[in-house]
Amino acid sequence: MSSGVESFRQLSPSEFFYRNREIAGFSNPARAVYQTVREFIENSLDATEVHGILPVITLRISREDPSNPDHITIQVEDNGIGVPPQFIPDAFGRVLYSSKYKFRQTRGMYGLGAKMAILYAQLTTGKPFEIYSSTRKTRYIYYYKLMIDVKKNQPQILELASWEKRSKWHGTIVKLTIEGEWSRRVRDYVAVYIKRTAIITPYADITAILPSVEKEDEYEVLRFPRVTSMLPRPPKEAKPHPLGIDLEMLKMMINETGAKTVLSFLTSEFQRIGEVTATRILKNAGIDPDKPPRTLDDDELQRLYKAMREEKYWAPTDEPLSPIGEELIRIGLKEILRPEFIATASRKPSSYSGHPFIVEGGIAYGGELASRLDEIAQDSVKGETGPYIVLLRYANKIPLLYDEKTDVMWSIVDPSKFPWRSVYKLEPTDTVAVLIHICSTKVPYKGVGKESVANVEEVESEVRLLAQELARKLREYIQRKKRVQEARQKLSLFLRYIPEVAASLAAIAGNGRGTPDPSIQKELTEKMREIALAKIKLSEYEASA
Ligand code: ADP
Ligand code: MG
């Protein structure tokens, strides 16, 4: 029976994400396993490399309850900075609570990932989340068992304990149990995710212990030992760029600022605004520069926002970005794919709508590549047109596995569009791996799934330039290699005729009666061989240079 009057109530953030979990990647039991692994590993990498710690990460997936084979327990341990005990409940029990709401590049930045996994566990198995953590400063290890009170969006602590440390261990162990699927397909997705992570984190030590798909009580271990102790440059926190904010953000910043005047608000809270620019903006907006920021009315705010947008600025600084760097890309590709040839490239920092970004990448060809790619190229299908291009996509150092065909990176390297054959001279049977990394303080993801990057014009153009540079380097290598092979063939032919030529020459130089002088013949043969072999060496040297 309806009273004819609708009833209203507010949804808490936890409740909202609980109801709409598919937007955060938790759409079904198979995807949920992958997504949980991804969120935990990304948190671990953020807690280590961003703070200058060489990551040691262990993932353990298990089925602990024989009566519930679809209950999947996921545990991740790291040697990161740890979470101070007073923040643990909120960091893991309050949706939209994060230490990463800063203007710098990290893998997580929404304050959502861990909580979505915890909510999903709660929803499907009803089991609580467990965490052990210790920071570098404390002498204790803290343990929490908690659930999320969905209606109130707050943590509900079930158990709490602490121990004195016996070692200098710092880091975090998180553990939860979700209803998931552990099939060949899911196992492969998780393995591919780990391998693709390993490619761009050769400075990390990663171990994954995964249950066998077929046999109970059996496990497989994927080991990726550290191969270098070089870390990517860490992101530096920066102030927002005036073109990188919207009106709401401007209002929020005005509410929080300690600046006494609008003029000093502009110069102190933004990058790329000095006195002169600030004065001009305020003049154009018709606002008294000495006015206290919080006294601006709505109309003035709108005018300020408009005047800020109409101003010209230096491009945003790339300091908050943390690209992988060409050297690490090369090391990672070499270690995991063992190709015959690698080239890398890195574009200069660029920006779109006030957000800085960098596009970098690598290309690999030959050697053990084709066989090793089979385990990594999960969903790529060999195209009819050829060559076979396996695209390894990354955004803010996160491997992207789903929705490849809608991604801007694919739109560029797609063999039906990119002139791999006509311009870059690849054969239809060639296999090539192309790694592309886009990093930004705001990756323009398509939709909320964070799996595919949108076709923003500026980004697209940088990705195209990168792909062209990589393809050009590969073409040069292949052509050089071809030239060397041709030269070698010629020389080996020559080598075969040496004894004959030497014999005739020795005859001429010898007694003049047509009988070769054996000692001269021997010497000539040696000399000619030496020259031929030196030529082969030289052409090889040229090819590798
Ligand atoms: P986000 O990563 O987007 O900030 P999460 O819900 O995944 O959101 O994590 C919330 C917060 O918990 C993080 O901002 C971080 O401060 C803290 N945290 C999560 N995992 C770890 C970890 N392994 N080590 C240290 N801190 C962590
Ligand atoms: Mg996270």
State pLDDT tens for residues 228-255: 999 999 999 999 999 999 998 899 999 9
What's the number of domains the chain is made of? Answer: 4
- Residue of the nearest CA to atom 12 in ligand 1? 91
Examine the pLDDT at 484 and tell me if it is beyond 90. Answer: no
Q: Report the phi/psi class of residue 367: left, alpha or beta, with left for phi > 0 and alpha for psi in -120 to 50.
A: left
Q: Which ligand is nearest to the CA of 116?
A: 1
Rg of the chain over all Cα atoms, to the nearest angstrom: 30
Tokens representing residue 387 in the block: 């060559």
Tell whether 212 and 334 lie within a shared domain.
no
Tell whether 271 and 153 lie within a shared domain.
no
Ligand 2 mean position, distance from CA 297 (Å): 37
Q: Which ligand is nearest to the CA of 100?
A: 1
Residue 233: Cβ within 10 Å count: 11
Question: Which pLDDT does position 55 carry in this prediction?
Answer: 98
How many CA atoms does the CB half-sphere of 486 hold within 13 Å? Answer: 6
Cis peptide before 292 (omega within 30 of 0): no
Atom from ligand 1 closest to the CA of residue 95 = 6
- Residue of the nearest CA to atom 25 in ligand 1? 82
Domain termination residue (choose one: 193, 224, 255): 224
Tell whether 464 and 506 lie within a shared domain.
no
pTM over 0.85: yes
Examine the pLDDT at 180 and tell me if it is beyond 80. Answer: yes
Question: Which pLDDT does position 386 carry in this prediction?
Answer: 77
Q: Any bridge partners for residue 145, and if so which?
A: 130, 159
Whole domain around residue 526: which residue ranges? 479-544
Query: What sign has the CA pseudo-torsion 365, 366, 372, 373?
Result: positive
Quote the Cα angle for 344-323-105, to 5°: 160
State pLDDT tens for residues 97-123: 888 878 888 888 778 889 999 999 998
Ligand 1 mean position, distance from CA 198 (Å): 21
**Can you tell me the mean pLDDT for 338-364?**
96
Q: Report the phi/psi class of residue 512: left, alpha or beta, with left for phi > 0 and alpha for psi in -120 to 50.
A: left
Examine the pLDDT at 497 and tell me if it is beyond 90. Answer: no
Tokens representing residue 42 in the block: 């990304």
Question: Which pLDDT does position 375 carry in this prediction?
Answer: 79
Q: Is 531 within a domain? A: yes
Tell whether 486 and 372 lie within a shared domain.
no
Ligand 2 mean position, distance from CA 467 (Å): 30
Question: Which pLDDT does position 400 carry in this prediction?
Answer: 95
Examine the pLDDT at 535 and tell me if it is beyond 80. Answer: no
State pLDDT tens for residues 472-483: 999 999 999 988
**Can you tell me the mean pLDDT for 522-530?**
81
Annotate 67-134 with three-state secondary structure: CCCCEEEEEEEECCCCCCHHHHHHHHHCCCCCCCCCCCCCCCCCCCHHHHHHHHHHHHCCCCEEEEEE
Question: Which pLDDT does position 363 carry in this prediction?
Answer: 98
Task: Detail the DSSP E strand segments found in 386-513.
Answer: 388-395, 398-400, 431-440
Q: Which ligand is nearest to the CA of 114?
A: 1
Ligand 2 mean position, distance from CA 107 (Å): 7
Tell whether 209 and 248 lie within a shared domain.
no
Q: Which ligand is nearest to the CA of 38?
A: 2
Tell whether 438 and 521 lie within a shared domain.
no
Q: Is 514 within a domain? A: yes
Ligand 2 mean position, distance from CA 106 (Å): 9
Atom from ligand 1 closest to the CA of residue 115 = 6
- DSSP 8-state class, residue 292: -
Note whether 173 and 131 are within 8 A (CB). yes
Helix (H, G, I), strand (E, B) or coil at 428: coil
Tell whether 213 and 66 lie within a shared domain.
yes
Tell whether 331 and 377 lie within a shared domain.
yes
Examine the pLDDT at 413 and tell me if it is beyond 80. Answer: yes
**Can you tell me the mean pLDDT for 509-519?**
69
Least confident span in 64-68, 184-188, 472-476: 64-68
Question: Which pLDDT does position 295 carry in this prediction?
Answer: 95
Q: Any bridge partners for residue 345, and if so which?
A: 361
Quote the Cα angle for 193-442-53, to 5°: 55
Q: How far is CA 543 from CA 12, 369, 424, 439, 465, in A?
A: 63, 20, 18, 33, 25
Examine the pLDDT at 517 and tell me if it is beyond 90. Answer: no
Identity of the residue numbered 338: R
**Can you tell me the mean pLDDT for 387-403?**
94
Question: Which pLDDT does position 1 carry in this prediction?
Answer: 53
Comparison of pLDDT for 105 and 543, the residue scoring more: 105
Question: What values do phi and psi take at 488, rounded to 5?
Answer: -65, -40
Q: Is 316 within a domain? A: no
Examine the pLDDT at 401 and tell me if it is beyond 60. Answer: yes
- DSSP 8-state class, residue 370: H
Ligand 1 mean position, distance from CA 187 (Å): 25
State pLDDT tens for residues 117-168: 999 999 899 999 999 999 999 999 999 999 999 888 999 999 999 999 999 9
Identity of the residue numbered 186: V
Residue 117: Cβ within 10 Å count: 29
Tell whether 440 and 507 lie within a shared domain.
no
Choose which residue among 37, 39, 43, 100 to substitute to test ligand 1 binding: the one with the highest number of ligand atoms within 8 A of its C-beta: 43
Choose which residue among 46, 141, 142, 146 to substitute to test ligand 1 binding: the one with the highest number of ligand atoms within 8 A of its C-beta: 46
Q: At what angle do helices 184-200 and 29-48 cross, to 10 degrees?
A: 20
Note whether 281 and 309 are within 8 A (CB). no
**Can you tell me the mean pLDDT for 171-189?**
96
Q: Report the phi/psi class of residue 52: left, alpha or beta, with left for phi > 0 and alpha for psi in -120 to 50.
A: left
Tokens representing residue 400 in the block: 């992207």
Average pLDDT, the chain: 90
Ligand 1 mean position, distance from CA 101 (Å): 11
Question: Which pLDDT does position 33 carry in this prediction?
Answer: 96
Atom from ligand 1 closest to the CA of residue 116 = 6
**Can you tell me the mean pLDDT for 287-313?**
95
Tell whether 344 and 413 lie within a shared domain.
yes
Helix (H, G, I), strand (E, B) or coil at 403: coil
Distance CA 95, CA 91 (A): 8
The pLDDT-based confidence of 540 (bands split at 50, 70, 90) is low
Examine the pLDDT at 507 and tell me if it is beyond 80. Answer: no
Atom from ligand 1 closest to the CA of residue 106 = 2
Distance CA 139, CA 19 (A): 40
Ligand 2 mean position, distance from CA 23 (Å): 15
Q: Is 441 within a domain? A: yes
Ligand 1 neighbours by CB, cut-off 6 Å: 39, 43-44, 47, 78, 80-83, 91, 98-100, 108-115, 172
Distance CA 38, CA 535 (A): 52
The pLDDT-based confidence of 498 (bands split at 50, 70, 90) is confident
Tell whether 449 and 506 lie within a shared domain.
no
- Residue of the nearest CA to atom 26 in ligand 1? 83
Give the helix/strand (H/E) hosting 146. Answer: strand 140-149
Ligand 2 mean position, distance from CA 246 (Å): 24
Comparison of pLDDT for 15 and 226, the residue scoring more: 226
Give the helix/strand (H/E) hosting 32. Answer: helix 29-48
Distance CA 332, CA 326 (A): 10
The pLDDT-based confidence of 383 (bands split at 50, 70, 90) is low
Choose which residue among 37, 98, 131 to substitute to test ligand 1 binding: the one with the highest number of ligand atoms within 8 A of its C-beta: 98
Helical residues (DSSP H) of 311-425, grouped into ranges: 326-337, 369-373, 408-413
Q: Which ligand is nearest to the CA of 117?
A: 1
* Residue bearing tokens 């109970």: 216
Ligand 1 mean position, distance from CA 98 (Å): 6
Helical residues (DSSP H) of 288-325, grouped into ranges: 298-310
Tell whether 147 and 171 lie within a shared domain.
yes
Q: How far is CA 85 from CA 131, 223, 341, in A?
A: 10, 31, 48
Question: Which pLDDT does position 513 carry in this prediction?
Answer: 63
Q: Is 366 within a domain? A: yes
Domain termination residue (choose one: 251, 280, 310): 310
